Chains A and B, each alone.
Chain A
Amino acid sequence: MPTAPPDSPDFVERLRQGDRAAFGELVKTHHNMLLATARTLLSPADAEEAVQDAWIAAHRAIARFEGRSQLRTWLTRIVINQARMMLRRGGREIQFDPTDEQDALAHRFRADGHWQQAPRQWELAGPDALLTREELRRCMEKTLGRMPDNQRLVLELRDLQGMEFDDICNMLDVSASNVRVLLHRARARLFELVDHFQETGEC
């Protein structure tokens, strides 16, 4: 789980007073994570732009930061709003209502709800351990790239950045049940991918 940066009252107060060094520290600590979040919705170039604009917005607003949320949550919300604004400019909108699709594991169950094709035993240790293999890593990136952006975003926030469900729901203005459905589908896709890879050695 990512280590939370120092959100000490002291640090927050320095930020609110416009302390340049403190803001630099904030940028240093959070930038790459924010960029990863923006990239779930935007192209790499647009993501850079969105995060830079988010820093400008955060810098303007920091004097009014009330400390009701963590700095990380506050910044992520700004980045996501910025990204959604850029999407809207391109005529796109991110939807959080899950569609009727079935998850990626659905075909592996019989009609009676039992496994038709159970998960195989994965190699979890040794030189072939999960994700230490370059091919699997590439495969994973491809799968992430093809995932619907709402699933990718929720997976990033929860499983890669370890954010709390409540924070994610507030940030996206989405119900907990929708977040859980999207997250489950994202995880099912990854599970299916790794299971297939373990069986065939191919993507």
Chain B
Amino acid sequence: MLKCRHAVDKADALVDGTPLSRRERLALRFHLLICHHCRRYLRQLRALLGSLPRQEDALDDARTQAILDKLDPPQSH
């Protein structure tokens, strides 16, 4: 029988879509079916990871230019 401790370790594989062996997958699915604590853990872990602040903003034009200004000058041919 899979213990909660191991279900929590294996929960990462579900979150990440990492392939588990058939045996591992069945054991984990079965455990989650009967253990609401671990179901809650998995659900809340997903919610937590989904709400982490992501840095996706584009850089503004002025700062982009400042970076370009420090690059090597274009080679003259």
Contacts and interface: CB of A to CB of B under 8 A. Distances in A.
Contacts of B68: 20, 23-24, 27
A32 B64 CA distance: 11
A114 B56 CA distance: 40
Contacts of B51: 129-131
Interface in A8-60: 18, 20, 23-24, 27-29, 31-33, 35-36, 52, 55-56, 59-60
Nearest to A112: B3
A114 B3 contact: yes
A3 interface: yes
Contacts of A27: 59, 64, 67-68
B64 A28 contact: yes
Interface residues of A, number: 47
A195 B41 CA distance: 10
B24 interface: no
B contact residues, range: 35 or more
Interface string B6-36: 1011001000101000000000000000000
B37 to A, nearest CB: 4
Given A27-B64, A32-B55, A56-B72, A115 B48 contact: no
Contact of B67 (A31, A114, A121, A194): A31
Interface of B: 3-6, 8-9, 12, 16, 18, 37-38, 40-41, 44-45, 47-49, 51-59, 61, 63-65, 67-68, 70-72, 74-75
Interface string A109-133: 1001111001101101000011100
Q: Which of A33, A119, A194 lies at the interface centre, i.e. has the most chain B CB atoms within 10 A of its CB? A: A119
Given A27-B64, A28-B59, A33-B56, A124 B12 contact: no
Contacts of B47: 122, 124, 130
Given A114-B3, A115-B4, A115-B37, A190 B59 contact: no
Contact of A55 (B41, B48, B56, B71): B71
Given A60-B72, A160-B55, A184-B12, A31 B40 contact: no
Contact of A32 (B5, B59, B72): B59
